[in-house]
Structure 1
Amino acid sequence: MATPWDQAYKHIIPLDFNSVNSVPDSFVWSQSDVIQPDNGLFIPIIDLMDSNAPKLIVEACETWGVFQLKNHGVRTKIMEDIESEARKLFDLPIDQKLKAVRSPDGLSGYGIVPIQSLFSTFMWHEGLTLFGSAIDHAKALWPHDYQQFSDTIDEYQSQMKALAEKVTGILFRALSIPVEDLNWFDDPTNRSGCNLALQLNSYPPCPEPTRTLGLAPHTDTSIVTILQAKTSGLQVFKDGVGWIPVEPEPEAIIVNLGDFTHLLSNGRFISVLHRVVVKPIQRYSMGYFYRPPKDFVVSPLLSKDLGPGEVPRYRSIIAKEYHELKANCKHYEKAFSLIEN
């Protein structure tokens, strides 16, 4: 008999992937959803140390909404350490990982990927979502040996935040958005202003990779999302072409734009639709979501340089309101259209 705990957590606890030899029916996506592209295209790879990097980043945001970034300033050691800690986490037995399970109404913790609530079919994925410090979750997972995980998470988030601010600064300057008017931007004393999140992802080996997805197609509710992954699996959608695999460049980081940048740019920059396909081998990734504070008013009018005769395509909206609008499973695919002028 199911207990109240079972009922409350049934949409949070991932499948015990080690216990199945085939993909359960509840995880089966249509073949049109899972079809593998072969179009020979590649997303831009940009060297941040190149003097032309700002121009190349802007061009990539206008035409792709995603790019890979080399010489990004994030130390190699912390990138190696975060992957090692992710492996340590996801290698734990399921009963141990559930000690850090997020609550039914919570945001942080272990469980099914948060966007699962928008889809009726399940995804081949487990993850740990973190807003701020990881110490409470680390203590739950490793009561006597938690410090290394917690310290690694803190250092990684610090370096990701610095990189996100560099990229956002380039984009805001291109849009003539004066960052000095934004009291949360690039302020080392402001630790709680931005709604920042780190997502550790595990895509376990799949016995039938062509029947399921690791992540369903979606756009991110962020300004920028920074992704670290050594193994391919991420795919981005380009109008007129279709799905394009992203082959990770060694030591590079993937940057994709989210919905807030699309709105702030009046549609000039692309909030890229993306998904993750699974493989017979294990895949890990780390996604850092850089978002404005919940009370920030997102508006194309922040730009001081709308083109001649250009009018705002979207009404102003509070970041929290947009989050709630998109989180409604009836609206997530048409959130932009609902705030068009």
Structure 2
Amino acid sequence: MGDATDCAIAAVARSAQEWGGFLLVGHGVPMELLTRVEEQIKGLFALPALEKERAARGGGYGYGVPPYILSFSKLMWSEGYTFSADDVRSEFRRIWPNGGDDYMRFCDVMEEFHKEMRALSKKVLDMFYKALGISADHIGEVESQIRDTMTTTMHLNMYPKCPEPERAMGLAPHTDSGFFTLILQSLVPGLQLLRRGPERWVTVPAVPGALAVVIGDLFHILTNGRFHSVLHRAIVNQDHERVSVPYFLGPPKDMKVAPLPAAILPGRKAEFRSVTWREYMVVREKMFGKDASALAMLRVTEDERDAELAPGMN
């Protein structure tokens, strides 16, 4: 059992370093629940447009596409709905103001899914810690705080059949902002990761029951770049519709995120400045549509290193 666990941890470390993501199987989330989640999402997006538009996106949540998509010229062939995983019932009263059976079934399934994914996310974080060489006996106060206070957001995606898929995009290339994302996708491949060296888009296999794990920018900072965030996108299909559910994990909005001392390799220094999620998003929004990275803007400069080393400086 120990050897199998060690092999899994080594595989996580290798995938996080080389790809910025991986497929997770044997995770314990019931297959029948994943099936019910997909059915409920298809039912939600099948509602008349006027009913969905009652929950038009505002303040980051609701029906509609994320704002960053407006920075891209290519047509986005998708519908989306973003919400706090801790606030399902009040959020979806906007869709079903009078409640009813459909409302109750939808909320029950989403809350059950949230409970399973929340528990799984803590196991995945512990896997990442072990892959960094941080054992359970050496998890400090900061690592424990991260594990216990992660925030969760869900985004429901529907990619309808597209008559000319080469002229459209399901979701534009982007990195996720938080720690990491667990993604449920239907059995129609469409999620692609940008593989480094040489750069090429690679389609993530649609394996029954598997969840994709994608590393975000704040986890890139937390691990001092050892586990890198990955550019990913969604493509569309001419013959089949597709559903995906990213389950985003990140810190509280005002928690300072900096490289964990235990994640910094011997002979290396912290490569990134301390930043909150709110501060990071300000930098990220400035970079939308530009040939620049928010992470690059948060790297510690040589001048800053010199200032830290200068005698008598505070």
Structure 1 and Structure 2 fold alike (TM over 0.5): yes
The one-letter amino acid of 2:165's match is P
Q: Provide closer, same or farther for how the CA distance between residues 242 and 140 of structure 1 changes in structure 2, counting only shifts above 3 A.
A: same
Larger mean CA deviation between 145-154 and 209-218 belongs to 145-154
Cα shift readout 1:236-257 (whole Å, capped 9, x = no counterpart): 1111140111121111111111
Rounded to whole Å, the distance in 2 between the matches of 1:286 and 1:276 is 12
Select which of 175, 181, 205 maps to 2:142: 181
Select which of 152, 155, 165 maps to 1:199: 155
Q: How does 1:1-341 map to 2 (within 5 A)?
A: 52-103=7-58, 106-131=59-84, 132-142=86-96, 143=98, 144-145=100-101, 146-175=103-132, 176=134, 178=139, 180-182=141-143, 184-187=145-148, 193-230=149-186, 231-239=188-196, 240-280=198-238, 281-300=240-259, 302-328=260-286, 329=288, 333-341=292-300
SS of 1:244's partner is strand
TM-score if structure 2 supplies the norm length?
0.84
Larger mean CA deviation between 251-260 and 170-179 belongs to 170-179
Q: Provide closer, same or farther for how the CA distance between residues 331 and 295 of structure 1 changes in structure 2, counting only shifts above 3 A.
A: farther
Rounded to whole Å, the distance in 2 between the matches of 1:293 and 1:331 is 27
SS of 1:255's partner is strand
Rounded to whole Å, the distance in 2 between the matches of 1:219 and 1:136 is 29
Gaps of 5+ in 1: 1-48, 188-192
Rounded to whole Å, the distance in 2 between the matches of 1:227 and 1:325 is 25
TM-score if structure 1 supplies the norm length?
0.78
CA contact (8 A) 1:325 1:332 kept: no
Larger mean CA deviation between 308-317 and 205-214 belongs to 308-317
SS of 1:297's partner is coil
Rounded to whole Å, the distance in 2 between the matches of 1:315 and 1:215 is 30
**Distance apart, 1:121 and its partner CA:** 4.0
1:4 corresponds to which residue?
none
| Ranges of 4+ aligned residues in structure 1 off by more than 6 Å | none
Give RMSD over aligned pairs: 2.0
Rounded to whole Å, the distance in 1 between the matches of 2:140 and 2:30 is 26
The one-letter amino acid of 1:75's match is P
Identity score, percent? 35
Rounded to whole Å, the distance in 2 between the matches of 1:114 and 1:306 is 34
CA contact (8 A) 1:195 1:290 kept: yes
SS of 2:69's partner is helix
Rounded to whole Å, the distance in 1 between the matches of 2:44 and 2:203 is 27
When the two structures are aligned, how many residues end up with a matched partner?
285
**Distance apart, 1:184 and its partner CA:** 4.0
The one-letter amino acid of 1:292's match is P
**Distance apart, 1:171 and its partner CA:** 1.3
The one-letter amino acid of 1:170's match is M
CA contact (8 A) 1:168 1:223 kept: no
**Distance apart, 1:114 and its partner CA:** 4.1
Cα shift readout 1:186-232 (whole Å, capped 9, x = no counterpart): 43xxxxx4331000100111111000111111111121111111210
Q: Provide closer, same or farther for how the CA distance between residues 89 and 335 of structure 1 changes in structure 2, counting only shifts above 3 A.
A: same
The one-letter amino acid of 1:238's match is R
Q: Provide closer, same or farther for how the CA distance between residues 127 and 332 of structure 1 changes in structure 2, counting only shifts above 3 A.
A: farther
Rounded to whole Å, the distance in 2 between the matches of 1:88 and 1:77 is 17
**Distance apart, 1:270 and its partner CA:** 1.7
Q: Provide closer, same or farther for how the CA distance between residues 325 and 241 of structure 1 changes in structure 2, counting only shifts above 3 A.
A: closer
SS of 2:94's partner is helix
**Distance apart, 1:159 and its partner CA:** 1.2
Larger mean CA deviation between 75-84 and 321-330 belongs to 321-330
The one-letter amino acid of 1:167's match is V
